[in-house]
Amino acid sequence: MDVLKQIVDIEEKPIDFFLKKRIELLTINVVNSIYYNPTRNVSIKLFNVINNEKSKKYYQQASKFNNRTDSLFEDEQIYVFIDKSVGIVETNSLLLSSDVRILSGITHENVAKKDIYFMDYVSAFEQKNEINQY
């Protein structure tokens, strides 16, 4: 979450208006993530990305692909669901997700082993390249 806060300004929003089933699905995504730490409790929080100069490129990218960011929200906000152990669980900005994964980095050991974390890191660059083509 520290990397996200460096890239954009965010504000926490209540999550209680979401359907219980949607929150359950987010929890399943956390538990099945390669970054999941089973020693920590799942704690999903919702944040909106404040639309300002820092987030301008993310809002511009989002508007290219859809008119509304999510039918559950009344406005065109970029949202981010975060879990402490996993990081971003879901967002409606592929570019923001890619940037956070890239700037979070990986270890030399991940590179040497070419493990799943290395592959996820490389895929973030590939995803960002595809996004930038549009």
Report DSSP letters for 62-101, one per residue: HHHH-S-S-TTSSS--EEEEEETTTEEEEES-HHHHHHHH
The runs of H, that is alpha helices, within the chain are 2-7, 20-31, 56-65, 94-104, 108-113, 116-132
CB atoms within 10 A of CB 13: 15
Task: Give 80-90 pLDDT, tens digit per residue.
Answer: 999 988 999 99
Q: Token pair for residue 130? A: 């595809």
Q: What band does 118 get if pLDDT is binned at 50, 70 and 90?
A: very high
Please state, in angstroms and as integers, the Cα–Cα distance from residue 119 to each residue in 8, 46, 72, 101, 114, following that order.
25, 27, 32, 11, 7
Q: Token pair for residue 121? A: 């890191």
Per-chain mean pLDDT for the chain: 89
Task: Give 10-57 pLDDT, tens digit per residue.
Answer: 999 998 877 788 889 999 999 999 999 999 999 999 999 999 999 999
